[in-house]
Structure 1
Amino acid sequence: MIRVFITDDHEMYLEGISLLLQKQEKVEVTGSSLSAKDLLNRLPELSPDDVLLLDVNLPDMEEEELIRRIRAIRPMQRVIYLTLMRGTRYVHKLMKYRIQGYILKNATVEELVTAIETVGAGKNYFSREIDILHEGDFRNTLTIEDRKVDEILSKREIEVLKLVCREFSNAEIAQKLFLSVSTIETHRKNLIAKLGVQNTVGLVKFALRNNLID
């Protein structure tokens, strides 16, 4: 059984999703909270293996502050975020805290259960419906720290990353690698999306942290 604790400030949604999950053979709903503060108070009671289902927008605490506090108490707690928005604003901010899942609230019960089972098994699940994933499927590549770089990035992406870090323009990189400028632009976008960073500075920091550049 995979144990799940749900936090959402909308009581009707919270009750509805709890009832749906309680009907699943492999899922046990261990409890729920209507606020971030209540979740934090109850977190020490939960098992590190429990999966937290969290609403991105809780009125009593910013999403980054909440996940930061969760990680301070339980660095390895498994977390799936639920959202109504398809954009990338929140997922980009939350990736650096090693969240394990991010799906839309209008996902099917089947997809939600799949996400819970995937995260419960120690893997990551990110909905294909989130705009950030249109650049490619990297649902299981977001926990950068415990994975080898070459399991996350292709050889070509690593080549492009190194050249970006050396401050070559897209046109210069295209010329060096005998590719089109548009292809390099796509590689750059994919790198930013896969690594969960905001810009070139973030790419450089990742490359330094993983000894890809001096």
Structure 2
Amino acid sequence: MIRILLAEDHIMVRAGLRALLERAKEITIIGEASNGQEAITMAADLKPDVLVMDIMMPRLNGIQAAEQIRSMKLPVHILLLSMYSDAGLVHQALQSGVKGYVLKTSVSEELLWGIHAVSRGETYLSSVISSIVTENTLHPNTAQTANLLDVLSPREKEILQLIAEENTSGEIGKILYISEKTVKKHRTNLMEKLHVRNLAGLVRLAIKYGLIDKNW
């Protein structure tokens, strides 16, 4: 039996995914998370075989959550669900230790195939994604795969996402249990590191590099 933790912030989408997975007799859902931070906490507590996680979630996105799970050395394989086949996002996901990347447009039997593959420690990519990775390997484009946010620490990425989600410095402080003054210092450091002059510039970069949904 493959034990699954499901992380998706949209309730209706999560319910649909649960219904799909529960039809497979060899799969059991042991928990549901609604944001990236919750997914990390539940993965540590429940130790699922596979974490099926939306790439775009509040608090921490799927890639950030995957990076933290890898740093914690949790024994869980991660499969990301995404609306986007952007080569940059795929590259970030694979670099973060993700084993599977499945497009939401093709979620059905392919998700089940992906879960079985990553539960065995194998890598599984949607066919479109596999083509992109192959093409990028054969014809590398450094401009496409370079990520300006690589200069940031995990905490700085977390704060950048929270800023882009329209949280004030005070609200971010409460979420992260740090002072508002510390948040403002991080914000200043972010602008210096990313070479932007204001919050709008930070938000544009958060969208560009996939910290929040492009349709935000």
TM over 0.5: yes
The answer as to whether partners of 1:92 and 1:198 remain within 8 angstroms in 2 is: no
Q: Aligned partners of 1:5 and 1:135: how far apart in 2?
A: 27
What's the counterpart of residue 24 of structure 2?
A: 24
Residues 1:13 and 2:31 aligned together: no
Q: Aligned partners of 1:82 and 1:103: how far apart in 2?
A: 5
What's the counterpart of residue 51 of structure 1?
A: 50
What's the counterpart of residue 102 of structure 2?
A: 103
Matched positions, count: 145
What's the counterpart of residue 138 of structure 2?
A: 190
Q: Aligned partners of 2:145 and 2:74: how far apart in 1?
A: 21
**One-letter amino acid matched to 1:19:** A
The answer as to whether partners of 2:91 and 2:145 remain within 8 angstroms in 1 is: yes
What's the counterpart of residue 150 of structure 1?
A: none
Q: Aligned partners of 1:62 and 1:20: how far apart in 2?
A: 23
**One-letter amino acid matched to 2:44:** P
**Residues 56-75 of structure 1 aligned to structure 2 (within 5 Å):** 56-75=55-74
Deviation, structure 1 residue 89? 2.1
The answer as to whether partners of 1:192 and 1:198 remain within 8 angstroms in 2 is: no
Alignment partner of 2:127: what SS?
Answer: coil
Identity %: 24
Deviation, structure 1 residue 92? 0.9
What's the counterpart of residue 113 of structure 1?
A: 112
Q: Aligned partners of 2:64 and 2:111: how far apart in 1?
A: 25
Q: Aligned partners of 1:65 and 1:135: how far apart in 2?
A: 20
Residues 1:133 and 2:134 aligned together: no
**One-letter amino acid matched to 2:124:** Y
Moved over 6 A (4+): none
Alignment partner of 1:52: what SS?
Answer: strand
What's the counterpart of residue 39 of structure 1?
A: 39
The answer as to whether partners of 1:100 and 1:125 remain within 8 angstroms in 2 is: yes
Alignment partner of 1:18: what SS?
Answer: helix
Q: Which runs of 5+ in 2 are unaligned?
A: 148-216
The answer as to whether partners of 2:70 and 2:97 remain within 8 angstroms in 1 is: no
Deviation, structure 1 residue 93? 1.1
**One-letter amino acid matched to 2:95:** K
Deviation, structure 1 residue 98? 2.0
Q: Aligned partners of 2:8 and 2:92: how far apart in 1?
A: 19
What's the counterpart of residue 84 of structure 1?
A: 83
The answer as to whether partners of 1:64 and 1:93 remain within 8 angstroms in 2 is: yes
Q: Aligned partners of 1:118 and 1:37: how far apart in 2?
A: 25
Q: Aligned partners of 2:37 and 2:29: how far apart in 1?
A: 19
**One-letter amino acid matched to 1:190:** L
Deviation, structure 1 residue 37? 1.8
What TM-score, normalized to structure 2? 0.60
Superposition CA RMSD, Å: 2.5
Q: Which runs of 5+ in 1 are unaligned?
A: 137-185, 200-214
Q: Aligned partners of 1:101 and 1:69: how far apart in 2?
A: 17
* Higher Cα radius of gyration: 1
Structure 2 CA distance for partners of 1:118 and 1:30, relative to 1, 3 Å = same
The answer as to whether partners of 1:102 and 1:125 remain within 8 angstroms in 2 is: yes
Deviation, structure 1 residue 102? 0.3
Deviation, structure 1 residue 64? 3.8
Deviation, structure 1 residue 35? 1.0
